[in-house]
Amino acid sequence: MTEPLIECENLGKKFCRDLKKSLWYGVKDSCSDLFGKPPHPQLREGEFWANQGIDFSLNRGECLGLLGRNGAGKTTLLKMLCGLVKPDSGQIRLKGSVGALIALNAGFQPVLTGRENVFVYGGILGLSQKAIKDRLDEIVAFAELEEFIDTPVRNYSSGMNVRLGFACASLLIKPDILILDEVLAVGDVSFRAKCYERITDLLQQCAVIFVSHNSTQVARTCSKCLHLHEGRPLSLGPTNQVLQRYLASSFERHDSQEIGQQIIKLNKLLTNGNTHLNQRCIIDYGTDVKFTLELTTTNMPDEVITIISLTNDAGDIVSQLRSPPQSLASLHASESNELIITCETGKLPLAPGTYAITVSLLDGGTQNRILTWVRNAGGLEIRGDTMSNSPTLLLSSWDMR
């Protein structure tokens, strides 16, 4: 059995909201540590747990994705793993060298040039000047900073900072443990592709902890995930299982929003006959889908265009259904002000995951007047065993002879 490179047992860290109390507690804790006394186990006035009860291990060749909303305790956990913050409870056992990038500026000194910062970074890691020089050309080429390596880092963009930081963390040494916090949140497509290739190469020899709010990046990179909520672990397991639960909980935090002239009001949203306005509807991957909209209208236009958009956790539209202009002439002669619109899609080719549904209706005559627009009108959770790096997973049959 492979020996773990990272082991965390009942890990916890607390902070104080009050600056004066925080300084006083820090002095007391430092004195206690000096005399070999254990940390104070209970919360004192003004304190809160930033992390508590975290247990996991990571072997060589594994990549752990950390999931959680902002403030969930992800960065605090990474700082404890890097030795920047001392835990107040539990134990951390690390084996081997650690490469880390947990800030956009990678800890660089802004008044120094990129070249000088590489030497400072390497010196902190204990490398000799000769060892750093031997790797410098490779680092500069990877970061694509040949023209700017002798420019002060304060003049770098966030993307340039991250490129240089990632190159230093992954190329200056061959780390046994690599820690990456939102490293792919900035940078262009080609750089992200290079990072993925480098991470894939490193996974052959090290353990990786990866933080991202992009579920597609997590699904592509990580073999398992840890979901944190208010500093505590909610779930730990295979990426597809934990990621689906995380996305489902993310949708539940969003309320619907309506804009437009409200000439048409959405009363009900049904998917396959199940009402789920402001709620999630769960279907299996490859299921035929039928959307039904029940609306109330006032001062109806002659024609409407209906648009149903499905968005991922990043807010990007991954699929959209759009009707042609539909005449409401028959409804004008009716006393009823109720309108029912249905849309059948057949088998929806979306990968397993959770998607938010946005419903919008436009005036078919002008096609730019919004009659109603309801963001997060409902959610659609698609369940299945297959995870995909793409939001689209086309249905297909395969044969081998």
Specify whether 141 is located in the same domain as 245: yes
Specify whether 37 is located in the same domain as 180: yes
Specify whether 10 is located in the same domain as 141: yes
Specify whether 144 is located in the same domain as 87: yes
Residue 209, token pair as written in the block: 């902890």
**154 assigned to some structural domain:** yes
**388 assigned to some structural domain:** no
Supply the pLDDT for residue 331: 59
Q: Give tens-digit pLDDT for 273-314.
A: 887 666 778 888 888 899 999 888 777 677 888 999 998 877
Mean pLDDT of the chain: 83
Q: E-assigned strands of 257-390?
A: 257-259, 264-271, 274-275, 280-284, 288-297, 303-311, 317-322, 326-327, 338-347, 353-363, 370-383
Q: Please say whether the beta carbons of 73 and 62 come within 8 A.
A: no
Dihedral angle, C-alpha 111, 113, 118, 123, nearest 10 °: -50
**266 assigned to some structural domain:** yes
Q: E-assigned strands of 95-198?
A: 98-101, 177-181
Q: Please say whether the beta carbons of 6 and 207 come within 8 A.
A: yes
Domain assignment of residue 293, given as a range: 257-383
CA proximity to 252, closest of 69, 387, 388, 390: 69
**184 assigned to some structural domain:** yes
Q: Please say whether the beta carbons of 280 and 382 come within 8 A.
A: no
**191 assigned to some structural domain:** yes
170 pLDDT more than 90: no
**126 assigned to some structural domain:** yes
Instruction: Tell whether pTM > 0.85.
Output: no
Supply the pLDDT for residue 309: 92
Residue 291, token pair as written in the block: 């959307």
For residue 170, give the DSSP letter.
I
